[in-house]
Amino acid sequence: MSPVDEAREKGPDVSDQPSLSDPFHTYRRVEARGGALCVAQAGPEPKEADAVVLAVHGITSSHMAFRATARELGTAAPGLCLLAPDLRGRGRSALPGPYGFARHMADLLAVLDDAGVERVIVAGHSMGGYAAARLAAEHPDRIAALVLVDGGLDIPLPPDDDPAELLRVGIKQATARLKITFESVDEYVELWRNHPALLGQWNGDVDAYAHYDVTGEPGNVWCVVSSAAVAADLTDMTYDEPTRTAVNRVSAPVRLLRAQRGLFDDDPVLADPIVDAFVATHPDASVEMVEGTNHYTLIFAASGPERIAAAIIEASVPVLQ
């Protein structure tokens, strides 16, 4: 095993991070192809819970993206269990390839089987929305409701653009920070502090998220996210029709929360024409614009986590009846 693989297997040290009401009290190791997934749990044990929520993070993210939402659920709906895995090649899920959405499906089913639950509410942020939607489309017997958080919709490729070039640029942008060696954890965290979407929005959850992202020793610190995993997921999101259009095959109730602004506090990820097209073909779906949020603060700050938790609770009502 290489030093990089050893560090990923060990996982980042978060012992010195803020103890701001950490809702994740248990970490499960779920056997999957090539090793074990790390799955964070908040709330009661799955078999004792009123309902179970499976939360799927974004492409270069980790389960820590749902820390604030889990805390909100713990206050508003303490009977719900939330299971949030680090996807393959992210966080402490230091598993090898093959990567991509077909593997995500097998991994997420392994999480459900390990927990011993038949039906769950699945929520996905950003790229995680596509994984959540595909799971709901391909395994309708396991998914009671789908909550999409600024992702998961069918976004047609621009007709005048070369998909291969779009993919190349997307991979380059998404993996840029993954190829940098930092002098210290603080230097890496500072990268996030200066992110346009997070200026003036820093809090304990963002801080814990950023610290969880890295490993190594002073002078040799790097992000644990696998570039190969990111490239495989972006390739599927570009070319794989079952992934790109999964939401159109979902039979479970769908709730969509969208941010007002995008990844860099700029144009929204889900533009109005894309959402309008979704509503036209999914008239029963619930759609909410969360004012004053961008793609990141929707999960970290302002009213975002509260609204996500509310959508999950609303989705759980039919499950409890």
Summarize pLDDT for 213-241 with one digit per residue, the tens.
999 999 999 999 999 999 999 999 999 99
Summarize pLDDT for 24-48 with one digit per residue, the tens.
999 999 999 999 999 999 999 999 9
Select from 312, 259, 245, 247 the least CA-distant residue to 288. 259
Specify the CATH number for the domain of residue 311: 3.40.50.1820
Kindly write down the DSSP assignment for every residue of 57-99, as one continuous string.
--TT--GGGGHHHHHHHHHH-TTEEEEEEPPTTBTTB---S--
Could you check whether the bond before residue 98 is cis, i.e. omega within 30 degrees of 0? yes
List all residues 6 or more positions away from 19 whose beta carbon is below 8 Å from its beta carbon.
none
- Cα distance between residue 37 and residue 94, in whole Å: 8
SS3 state of residue 295: coil
Summarize pLDDT for 153-201 with one digit per residue, the tens.
999 888 888 899 999 999 999 999 999 999 999 999 999 999 999 999 9
Q: How many domains does the chain have?
A: 1
Which two tokens mark 33? 């192809």
The predicted structure's pLDDT at residue 69: 98
Mean of per-residue pLDDT scores for the chain: 92
Cβ count within 10 A of residue 270: 23
Summarize pLDDT for 83-105 with one digit per residue, the tens.
999 999 999 998 998 999 999 99
Q: What is the pTM of this model?
A: 0.92
The predicted structure's pLDDT at residue 112: 98
Q: What are phi and psi of 122, to 5 degrees?
A: -110, 130
Q: Is 148 exposed, middle or buried (0-12, 13-18, 19+ CB in 10 A)?
A: buried
SS3 state of residue 280: helix
SS3 state of residue 171: helix
| Mean pLDDT (whole number) for 241-259 | 96
List all residues 6 or more positions away from 4 whose beta carbon is below 8 Å from its beta carbon.
222
How do beta strands 51-56 and 120-125 pair?
parallel
Q: What are phi and psi of 310, to 5 degrees?
A: -65, -40
DSSP 54: E
List all residues 6 or more positions away from 222 whose beta carbon is below 8 Å from its beta carbon.
4, 178, 180, 181, 182, 214, 215, 216
Name the residue range of residue 60's domain. 3-320
Q: Which conformational region is residue 142 in: left (phi greater than 0), alpha (psi within -120 to 50 degrees), or beta?
A: alpha
| Mean pLDDT (whole number) for 71-75 | 96
Summarize pLDDT for 125-157 with one digit per residue, the tens.
999 999 999 999 999 999 999 999 999 999 988
The predicted structure's pLDDT at residue 319: 67
